[in-house]
Amino acid sequence: MQVIVDRLPNLTALPFYVPKPADPRLLRITTELEKTPTDNRTLEALASSNGLSARTAARLFVKETGMTFGQWRQQSRLFIAIQHLGLGKSVSRVAGEVGYADVSAFIAVFKNAFGETPAKYLRQD
């Protein structure tokens, strides 16, 4: 227990969060995307299958999460990626598991969000 307490000051806080919408239709969409981050359907397709127009869904995303749908999806994928990377999975495997067909694109998005590559980010002490 003391080891955990001693390590707490060294932990790095994540510089982002993934807000949950209150609207049940949006919550279904976000829950679905969190379970299957490789789902690349457009907001229009996701909204339609959940009883919303794309325009209403887009408006509600900003209102309820403070982010556009694209921003929310990217944040969600990065959050999931950090969890998978923390389990020791390779960067290329995680990139595919969170919906990036190109590892270089994943690394670029990760570096843009966190200021360093996934491998370097995880090696921080």
Q: What does each of the 125 residues of the chain score in pLDDT, given as a tens digit?
A: 666 666 666 655 545 679 999 999 999 999 999 999 999 999 999 999 999 999 999 999 999 999 999 999 999 999 999 999 989 999 999 999 999 999 999 999 999 998 999 988 877 65
pTM: 0.83
Look-up of token digits 């900003």: 62
Integer-rounded Cα radius of gyration of the chain: 16
The whole-angstrom separation of Cα 50 and Cα 28 is 8
Alpha-helix residue ranges (DSSP H) falling in 8-117: 24-35, 43-48, 54-65, 69-86, 91-97, 103-114
Every domain of the chain and the residues it spans = 22-122
- Chain-centroid distance of CA 56 in Å reads 22
51 and 11 Cβ atoms separated by less than 8 Å: no
Tokens of 2: 């003391």
The whole-angstrom separation of Cα 61 and Cα 26 is 7
Q: Which CATH architecture has domain 22-122?
A: Orthogonal Bundle (1.10)
